[in-house]
Amino acid sequence: MSDATPLRPLHAASPGRVSRRVFIRDLVLEARIGIHSHEHNHSQRVRINVNLLVGDDAPLGDYIRHVVSYETIVDGIRALLADGHINLVETLADRIVDRCFADSRTEHVRVRVEKLDIYEEAESVGVEVEQSRSIA
């Protein structure tokens, strides 16, 4: 009698929930942002980075409507900046996070907003916000 465990046939893994990372790197836009009086009168450059973790069970079918589109995110950021002056980079980052969570497939968001022309000695200053969708 053999001590070997009998071999079982391998079964192909069934496809499960797919996670994708959607990202926008180094988007540089003009923004009216800041608490100082000179920042209220002039726009300044900000660099924005967005990373999303998106989960979805539906097949893509090679259709844009089946994905969380980076184009939609960029258009949303532009719309936020067009709405008028924002005091804090934290506020802008939070608003971007909210826009990203407007799509129910978004599970996690990380947003970095940097002001580029504040200190001569620094490439940038800013904030990074990270948030996961609450599971009720």
d(CA 83, CA 73): 16
pLDDT of residue 3: 61
**In one letter, which amino acid is 32?**
R
| Cβ-contact 57, 80 below 8 angstroms | no
Q: Which CATH architecture has domain 18-132?
A: 2-Layer Sandwich (3.30)
Q: Which pLDDT score, from 0 to 100, does residue 87 have?
A: 97
pLDDT score at 23: 97
For every one of its 136 residues, what pLDDT tens digit does the chain have, with 9 covering 90 and above? 556 666 666 555 545 677 899 999 999 999 999 999 989 989 999 999 999 999 877 777 787 888 899 999 999 999 999 999 999 999 999 999 999 999 999 999 999 999 999 999 999 999 999 999 986 6
Whole-structure pTM value: 0.84
Listed in sequence order, the residues at least 6 apart from 96 whose beta carbon sits closer than 8 Å to its beta carbon are 48, 50, 76, 77, 80, 109, 111, 113
Displacement of CA 60 from its chain's centroid (Å): 20
Contact 46, 113 (CB under 8 A): yes
Residue 4's pLDDT is: 65
pLDDT in tens, 29-48: 999 999 999 899 899 999 99
